[in-house]
A and B are shown apart, each in its own frame.
Chain A
Amino acid sequence: MTRTNARAVRAIRFGGLLGALGVLTTPMLAAARPTGPSVLCETYPDAPQCSGSLGTCSTCHTSTWPPAWNGYGLAVMAQIGEGTFETSLPTALRALDAIDSDEDGVANADELLLGTNPGDPGDAWPWCAPETPTGPVPVASGYDFERALRRIAITYCGRQPTYDELATFRAGATSSEVQYERLHAAVDLCLGSPTWRRVGLRRLVDARIRPIGAVGASSPVGIVIGDYEWDYRLFRYVMTDDRDVRDLLLADYHVTESSDGTLTRVEGRVPAAGPTGQPLDPERRAGMITTSWFFAINTMFSAMPRTTAAQAYRAWLGMDIARLEGISPIEGEPRDVDQRGVTQAQCASCHSTLDPLSYAFVPYEGIAGGRTGVYDPLRGSRRIEGWSAPPTYLLGEPVTDVRDWAEHAVGTEAFARNLALMMFRDALGHEPSPSELAELRTVWRALERDGWSANRLVHRLVDTQAFGGAR
């Protein structure tokens, strides 16, 4: 063990004792420092947790309140020098690059660059980034075309290929170019299939729409708070036929469906007697995050729609504030506009991001009968005493309203990353491993070049080793 390493281990052990004491004394301790993840990402911009994301507090912390650190976090703290926490943190982090703080066999810098936690001995992945394909087709050597075909068929066509279909796929396929061409023809075929367009895409977005059958438009008990079918149709429309996926957050239109499954764009408001319509003027629309159902299920009856903003952030940018992801604190926040006590240290570490993320959503009604989802510029002053419409921030940037929020969101790498991750999980059933993250990054970074098409994204996903690599 090197001298520096031994010092870090001592820091960990001593820190562990202090951490235990900290647990007992937490109510009286000072405020947390949620700027850590963003400083870490400025220091390691190529780290997977910083690519299209903001990193998480769990890199250093086992808990932010009461504050407790893992071995890496304690080693970092032991290195903090003169100056502010933010200015001295980069040097402290880099000083530990070659050290293995959690003693799992992988150095801290390697863990950060691979996407594992340098403070968690159970999280290690001693692996190398995959080589770039150099053959005539953009897949690595050893790519299993038949295995990929089976995965394409089951994921996007809803069934495995038949014996005869496999025989046809093999017939005369003497080169990888032919196999590649046939494989991607199968992708096109399946992405156009009713199974994918009507069923697969619905399953893909369930957790983001969060329907509740009991209070939907077809409520069996007669209690209707909204109609989530508008949300499903919009998602399915945007995700098919090479449309621009940024419309997930930018659409100022709605979508109807005919009995044969054809989806048609409709402009303007959709009036209804109850909460099943879409009451917003197009200039107040922002795709999936301004439907009536979105406000009904997330804002509900709350004056300050924190849940709404958090769900928009989680569902479409892939960052879950409740899991300490996407923490991007704003100076002077949280203001505690509704006197909920969120300025307390144990709350402020997240609410300094969440509250300024939420202000723009205040003018939109939650559950309010026929007014559900209505835009009312006076709602803030009606519902929140002393409301002054403080500025909204998304990822540290000021935004003027929800429309602006959405325009900023689709311009971030987080938006593209989130879409690619959604498709990856759906196709492969697991979170990308560190060895898969590097090639997945190439997938989402190509989204703009590919015209923001979800179908093109699937084609690129199919090319990855994760999808078709040999067993």
Chain B
Amino acid sequence: MSRSILLMLTMRALTALGLTVLALATAACGRDDAYLPPVLPREPMTTLPPPELSCDETAAPVPEPFVWKRADPLATDLALALALEPDTMCRELGVIPCIEAERVALGGSDPLGTGLYAGSARPGLTTPNAVDRLVLAACAERVDRDARGPAEIVTEIDLAASALDADDADARAAMIADATALHRRLLARDPSDAELEILLDLARPEDGLTPSAREWATLTCFAIGTRTDNLFY
């Protein structure tokens, strides 16, 4: 049987089905309440008391714990924490402020430009990339400025050093002081001992590579700035 004959038979079957449905519909139109489902046999009505809420606290959902810190407050907090200007701390191609280029990904709105009157309801797929981009660029800028001097925030470690020894008492103290300062500025709190140890570990060699002091400072700033408690509140 050829494909065209099969197609014709299928079309005829569909047409027959359509006509049947049409006939049923036409019959239904004769009734005033045709769109209602038929009333099924039911129990006699009784007078019910007013409804009362029956609580089940064991099944209570967890309340929404976080609010997303979106584009403008995120950029403002970063700029204030790192003593930078929001428009210059991160620029795409050296021209456009990241906060404008990544505004939508960062949850901001753009009412006058693209007519986006409200930011997206929740972070999207590119939000982590945009956050990483913004924070890393701002941290790198801060460390660069402090390396050129006079240092404002990363003041204790030697930013010219090719490596930092976290097991050396003096270097360790300097690293803790700078990490604590970054914690206070970015998260408005002191770090825990466990958090400090993680940050100090960033200075240790890995895969044969030892981070320089500038790289450690940038990574430390980045690690703190991208913490959940900086991105949500």
**A interface residues with partner B (beta carbon < 8 Å):** 3-4, 7, 10-11, 14-15, 18-19, 21-22, 24-25, 27-30, 32, 44, 67, 69, 74, 77-81, 91, 94-95, 97, 105, 107, 109-110, 112-114, 125-129, 147, 150-151, 154, 158-163, 165-166, 199, 203, 206-207, 210-213, 216, 427-430, 433, 435-436, 465-466, 469, 471
Contact = CB atoms under 8 A, between A and B. Distances in A.
20 contacts: A14-B40, A18-B38, A19-B37, A21-B24, A22-B35, A24-B21, A28-B29, A30-B35, A32-B35, A80-B39, A126-B60, A127-B55, A127-B61, A147-B233, A151-B67, A160-B73, A161-B188, A163-B189, A206-B117, A430-B121
A93 to B, nearest CB: 10
Interface stretch (B42-50, B90-98, B124-132): B42-50
Nearest to A43: B51
A23 to B, nearest CB: 10
B32 interface: yes
Contacts of B21: 21, 24-25
A67 B60 contact: no
Given A28-B25, A163-B189, A435-B63, A203 B109 contact: yes
A223 B54 CA distance: 59
A318 to B, nearest CB: 15
Interface of B: 21-22, 24-26, 28-29, 31-40, 42-43, 45, 48, 51-57, 59-61, 63-65, 67-69, 72-73, 76-77, 80, 109, 111-113, 115, 117-118, 121, 184-185, 188-189, 233
A80 B112 CA distance: 51
A271 B185 CA distance: 51
B37 A15 contact: yes
Between A28, A158, A199, the greatest number of chain B beta carbons within 10 A of the residue's beta carbon is seen for A28
A125 B61 contact: yes
Contact of B37 (A18, A29, A97, A427): A18
B119 to A, nearest CB: 9
B45 A81 contact: yes
Contacts, number: 167
A280 B28 CA distance: 53
Q: Is the interface of B mostly helix, strand, loop or mixed?
A: loop
Q: Considering the complex of A and B, which 9 residue pairs feature the smallest CB-CB distances, nearest first?
A: A128-B55, A25-B25, A109-B51, A213-B112, A126-B59, A207-B117, A163-B184, A206-B111, A126-B56
Given A128-B60, A216-B112, A466-B64, 13 more contacts: A19-B37, A22-B35, A24-B25, A28-B28, A30-B35, A79-B42, A81-B42, A109-B52, A126-B56, A128-B55, A154-B69, A206-B109, A206-B117
Given A78-B40, A128-B53, A163-B188, A29 B29 contact: yes
A78 B48 contact: no
Given A24-B21, A212-B115, A160 B42 contact: no
Contact of A95 (B48, B57, B77, B184): B48
A435 B24 contact: no
Contacts of B77: 154, 159-160
A169 B32 CA distance: 69
A160 B117 contact: no
B188 A162 contact: yes
A158 B40 contact: no
Given A97-B48, A160-B77, A160-B188, A107 B54 contact: yes
B117 to A, nearest CB: 4
Given A95-B48, A151-B233, A211-B112, A7 B42 contact: yes
B60 A435 contact: yes
Given A21-B21, A128-B56, A433 B51 contact: no
